Structure 1
Amino acid sequence: MSAVKRIVTIGSGGTISAVADARRRAGGGLGAADIVQAAGEPLPGIELSAVDVRRIPGRAMAPADMQAIASTIAAEVAAGCDGVVVTHGTDTVEETAYALALMLDVPVPIVLSAAMRLPGDVGHDGGANVRAALVAARDERVAALGPVLAIQDELHLARWVTKAHTSRVAAFASPETGPVGVFAEDRLQLSATHGPDDHLGLPAGDLGATRVELIWVAAGMDGLLLDAAAERADGIVVAGSGGGHVPPPVAEAIERAIARGVPVVIASRCAAGPTLERTYGGPGGELHLRELGAHFAGRIPALKARLRLQVALALGRGAQEVFPA
């Protein structure tokens, strides 16, 4: 690699790019080149370029958009860049980060960043977060972590990070592991050397054409939602209670879905911890669901299990292959 690191900033929209009017409606939005300007004095040893893939709020981000970001990153890496920063909306940045981990295996850092406050707000956090992302993107060690999120002076792995609060600036956490790095004085202090190997591949076709539904379990649910999903879905992820449990009527609907040939993956709705394997039997327990042919997500959170199944199916790979637990 050259002494000067070539960092590409990819814009996708979100609060970090928003320009709000007096009625708090998002305006046209800032591009990636504009956002970088808020990061302060240029960091030594890097050469910046910018490209915009999307200019949409985080709530509008879909798997097809994530695929477009992944394809852009792959092209920039092939063209010789040394690191990538992706600016994004906070609502879905944890999902895009994990989608990139699934679709990309590249030898350079991929760092996402975002902001909780609009650029015109007092205490806007976007500039500091992007600066941290640039610090991480020039650090060769970060490539081994896979895609990461740089925010609130912390670095988080794609698999574990989640938006844990709706509005405060310190909105992100990794309940399973905590952050793997912290920033101070334009330097990154890492506490990990490698991230999880989540890579599956970049689908050639439209990822959005593969439909995977996520159904959250609540006390007293019946099988209505799951039966409806099985009519059209290519796969279903169920966020079960505790270690991966569902009410007995939902278990009956899971059995019907599997009989139709729809793969069903059981995750947990809990913030941390694995799905269980051999503790609870009876209707809706994990032993029963395994007997029915359901697959289990292990430690992968429900939101990310959905993306993992979606990418796998789009690649022609089965649930058993990517959820072997």
Structure 2
Amino acid sequence: MDPLIAVIATGGTIASQQNADGSSTPSLDGGALLARLGDLPRVRLKPVDLFARDSSTLRLADMQAVSDAVGAELAGGAAGVVVLHGTDAMEETALLVSLQHPGAPVVFTGAQFTDDHPQADGPANMTAAIRAVLEGGAGVRLAFGGRLLPAWGLVKFATDSADAFRLAADAVAPEVGLTAPVDGIRVDVVAIHPGADAVHLDASLAAGAQGIVLAALGSGNATPAVAKAVARAHAAGVPVVVSSRVPLGRLAASYGGGGGGHDLVRAGAVLSAVLRPGQARVLLAALIAAGQVGQAGALFG
């Protein structure tokens, strides 16, 4: 019997068409998207309509729903799963699925251009994702723009190109299964700018954040005021992870001066050497949910 691949549709640009007012919103279900495909190897495709959302609106609970759906399809006999997802949060959901289903035959894909755009890239990306599942390979991956990339370290680096994703840095993903659901976990991302004070970090603490990720400068640098706030968060038992607004390259906590990466780590923060803010937020939430924040140093390094 031909292998069965479940295709989970969640909305995004791949499912979107332009409305009369010029805006684009997800409007196509999984069956309609699969009807766009051309010739494929012998395979059975099962559309699964989970929701139809712009991925910019997804909460951690929604990402958890995607991960749960992946697990259900694999447990139900699917040989693999393709997830159709919006690109704004693709790297986050892909990492969560990778953490909760390590080694699973899952491939994410989507599109940069809507279904009715002259340069629609959804059908080609779907075909590539299905072929990637059929050809085998362990772990959660992304098929997009002619590339096949692992989930760990993914970053969307272009808004207007069909070839939109890269790896932040070459890295070997840790073999870890963090299966506790992340529903209800609050991890905030705080953007750092030159001369930043601690108002936003302190506001996140006051709002009840259980963890904080800094979208820092350069190789993971901030200011003395932010370093002092990191120390306050650490004293309060709230973990802080330092990532960077720079999309590519490995981070190193080498700068001092009162607010550099070296000082942030000394104040109690954990440096995310590879994962950028979106993925760092997901990993931190998964560690908090699993009660394994103590492993953060090893996993983020």
Kindly provide the amino acid, as one letter, of the partner of residue 160 in structure 1: G
In structure 2, the CA distance between the partners of 1:27 and 1:218, relative to structure 1 (3 Å rule), is: closer
The superposition leaves residues 236-295 of structure 1 with CA deviations (integer Å, 9 ceiling, x where unpaired) of 111222222211111111111112221111122222333324x33341123322322222
Equivalent position of 1:12 in the other structure: 10
Equivalent position of 2:228 in the other structure: 252
Equivalent position of 1:298 in the other structure: 273
In structure 2, the CA distance between the partners of 1:195 and 1:79, relative to structure 1 (3 Å rule), is: farther
Aligned with 2:146 (options 146, 149, 153): 153
Q: How far off is 1:106 after superposition?
A: 4.6
Contact (CA 8 Å) 1:148, 1:155: kept in 2 or not? yes
Aligned with 1:21 (options 19, 24, 45): 19
Contact (CA 8 Å) 1:242, 1:270: kept in 2 or not? yes
**1:34 maps onto 2:32 in alignment:** yes
The 5 Å alignment of 1:188-207 reads: 196-197=173-174, 199-204=176-181, 207=182
Kindly provide the amino acid, as one letter, of the partner of residue 196 in structure 1: A
Q: How far off is 1:228 after superposition?
A: 0.7
Contact (CA 8 Å) 2:228, 2:267: kept in 1 or not? no
5+ residue gaps in structure 2? Answer: none
**1:219 maps onto 2:217 in alignment:** no
Contact (CA 8 Å) 1:33, 1:50: kept in 2 or not? yes
Tell me the secondary structure at the aligned position of residue 100 of structure 1.
helix
Equivalent position of 2:122 in the other structure: 126
Contact (CA 8 Å) 2:215, 2:243: kept in 1 or not? yes
Q: Distance in 1 between matches of 2:163 and 2:102?
A: 29
Q: Distance in 1 between matches of 2:25 and 2:277?
A: 33
Q: Distance in 2 between matches of 1:83 and 1:44?
A: 15
Contact (CA 8 Å) 1:74, 1:106: kept in 2 or not? no
Tell me the secondary structure at the aligned position of residue 112 of structure 2.
coil
Kindly provide the amino acid, as one letter, of the partner of residue 297 in structure 2: F
Tell me the secondary structure at the aligned position of residue 201 of structure 2.
helix
Counting matched residue pairs gives 298
Contact (CA 8 Å) 1:14, 1:89: kept in 2 or not? yes
Q: Distance in 1 between matches of 2:123 and 2:176?
A: 30
Q: How far off is 1:27 after superposition?
A: 5.4
Kindly provide the amino acid, as one letter, of the partner of residue 276 in structure 2: P
Q: Distance in 2 between matches of 1:138 and 1:57?
A: 28
**1:321 maps onto 2:295 in alignment:** yes
Q: Distance in 2 between matches of 1:159 and 1:170?
A: 18
Q: Distance in 2 between matches of 1:249 and 1:36?
A: 52
Q: How far off is 1:156 after superposition?
A: 1.5
Structure 1 stretches (4+) deviating beyond 4 angstroms?
A: none
The superposition leaves residues 131-168 of structure 1 with CA deviations (integer Å, 9 ceiling, x where unpaired) of 1111001122x2x2x21111111112212322212223
Tell me the secondary structure at the aligned position of residue 18 of structure 2.
coil
Equivalent position of 1:113 in the other structure: 109
**1:262 maps onto 2:238 in alignment:** yes
Q: Distance in 1 between matches of 2:215 and 2:118?
A: 38
Kindly provide the amino acid, as one letter, of the partner of residue 93 in structure 1: M
In structure 2, the CA distance between the partners of 1:27 and 1:282, relative to structure 1 (3 Å rule), is: closer
Tell me the secondary structure at the aligned position of residue 321 of structure 1.
helix
5+ residue gaps in structure 1? Answer: 178-193
Tell me the secondary structure at the aligned position of residue 86 of structure 2.
coil
Q: How far off is 1:235 after superposition?
A: 0.6
Equivalent position of 1:181 in the other structure: none
**1:289 maps onto 2:286 in alignment:** no
Tell me the secondary structure at the aligned position of residue 236 of structure 1.
strand
Q: Distance in 2 between matches of 1:199 and 1:40?
A: 37
Q: How far off is 1:26 after superposition?
A: 4.0
Aligned with 2:205 (options 215, 230, 239): 230
Contact (CA 8 Å) 1:176, 1:271: kept in 2 or not? no
Kindly provide the amino acid, as one letter, of the partner of residue 321 in structure 1: Q
Q: Distance in 1 between matches of 2:58 and 2:30?
A: 17
Percent of residue pairs identical: 33
Root-mean-square deviation (CA, aligned residues, Å) is 1.9
Give the TM-score taking structure 1 as reference length: 0.86
Tell me the secondary structure at the aligned position of residue 97 of structure 2.
helix
